[in-house]
Amino acid sequence: MKILIAYYSKTGSTEKVAKKIKQEFEEKGHKVELVKIVPVQELKAYQYKKNGKELALKNATGSVKKFDLVLIGTPVWNFCPAPMVLSYLRNLLNVKDKKFALFATCTALPGTTIQRMSSILSTKGGKVTASITVRSIFSLDAKKLEVAKKFAEQLS
């Protein structure tokens, strides 16, 4: 399978999960493209529009046509996906009938994070087949990353 893993990470937790998932897929022989979502201008979290509209990204989103599976990861900001991820999702092309899996990282409650991401993709015709939320109050340890590994195993 050809797999895309796109994620945003400010503190590194979401990036660790993305890399763990990538490692698991590659061990199973899949080709994986890892893309970090980066805003053109880094601001304080409270300075971004919560809905992510009009947010320019350095790595322009494009087509997901060549991928068999697309994973999108985000940290939870105020019970929602990070604005960069919302912007990324809104700008994705060739989403119709594509399989998606979503993941989020948080310290407390995920709120409507996965539902909001799923709603954007569903509106565009995408099919969200799986999701996980990795919770960790401090830093992600090996036990928490095991959840990401199992998630990737289920998707393989």
- pLDDT one-digit tens code per residue, 105-123: 998 889 999 999 999 999 9
Mean pLDDT over each residue of the chain, to the nearest integer: 91
pLDDT mean over 96-106: 97
Phi, psi of 5 (to 5 degrees): -120, 110
Q: How far apart are the first and last CA of the chain?
A: 9
Domain that holds residue 102: 2-155
Write the CATH number for 31.
3.40.50.360
Looking at the 3D structure of the chain, how many domains does it have? 1
In this predicted structure, the answer to whether residue 31 has a pLDDT above a threshold of 70 is yes
Question: What are the pLDDT digits (tens) for 127-143?
Answer: 999 999 998 877 778 88
